[in-house]
């Protein structure tokens, strides 16, 4: 997770290090120099590759969490847990957050690709507009990633703890009867 954060932070740093006029440029100003644009595109390509790998890792981890919750919901249903609805609602919240992250990550990747393929100097502001869009999508991607974590900690974890407590109590009761 720290490696992923560092990669995303690195991209943000590259974008932040570009002169303000290069990404906040209006269409009436001079375009970014060809050399500056080429160097920025090379850095964007490197970070786009890293961001895609990080997003893939996030999606795999989130899928594993969802699968674990699915397994526990099935187990709770089989054990006739009285509050399966809370577990199911928590699973649904996590699933919605994960799907939102997956969608946003794709949008961010597309924005990076557009910034990388934008023509330097040909159309006024094309590159800088694409770069600004990528920056905006990065912020949204971070927000959706945080939403997944929040959904897990605020919704799923309490529901799973309640199920674990119920399971422990029901196991102890069953052992006392024996």
Q: Structural domain boundaries of the chain? A: 2-15+29-171
User: SS3 of 125, please?
Assistant: coil
Q: Are 23 and 125 in contact (CB under 8 A)?
A: no
Calpha distance 171→167 (Å, rounded): 6
Phi, psi dihedral angles at 150 (to 5 degrees): -65, -40
Count the alpha carbons within 13 Å of 45 in the hemisphere toward its beta carbon: 9
Range of 6-15, 81-90, 110-119 with top mean pLDDT: 81-90
Residue-level pLDDT at 32: 61
Which tokens in the block code for residue 31? 């375009």
Chain segment 66-111, per-residue pLDDT in tens = 999 999 999 999 999 989 999 999 999 999 999 999 999 999 999 9
pTM: 0.74
Please, where are the H alpha helices in 2-33?
2-17, 20-23
Q: Are 22 and 36 in contact (CB under 8 A)?
A: yes
Calpha distance 117→127 (Å, rounded): 8
Calpha distance 99→59 (Å, rounded): 9
């Amino acid at each position: 997770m720290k490696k992923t954060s560092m990669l995303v932070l690195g991209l943000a740093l590259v974008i932040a290090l570009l002169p303000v006029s290069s990404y906040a440029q209006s269409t009436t100003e001079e375009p970014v120099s060809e050399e500056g644009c080429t160097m920025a595109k090379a850095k964007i390509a490197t970070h786009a590759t890293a961001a895609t790998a990080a997003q893939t890792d996030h999606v795999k981890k989130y899928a594993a969490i969802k699968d674990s919750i699915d397994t526990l919901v099935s187990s709770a249903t089989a054990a006739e847990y009285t509050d399966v609805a809370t577990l199911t609602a928590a699973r649904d919240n996590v699933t919605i957050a994960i799907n939102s992250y997956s969608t946003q990550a794709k949008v961010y990747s597309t924005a990076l690709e557009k910034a990388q393929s934008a023509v330097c100097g040909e159309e006024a502001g094309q590159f800088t507009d694409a770069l600004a869009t990528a920056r905006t999508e990065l912020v949204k991607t971070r927000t959706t990633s945080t939403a997944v974590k929040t959904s897990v900690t605020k919704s799923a974890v309490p529901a799973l703890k309640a199920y674990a407590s119920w399971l422990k109590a029901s196991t102890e009761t069953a052992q006392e009867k024996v």
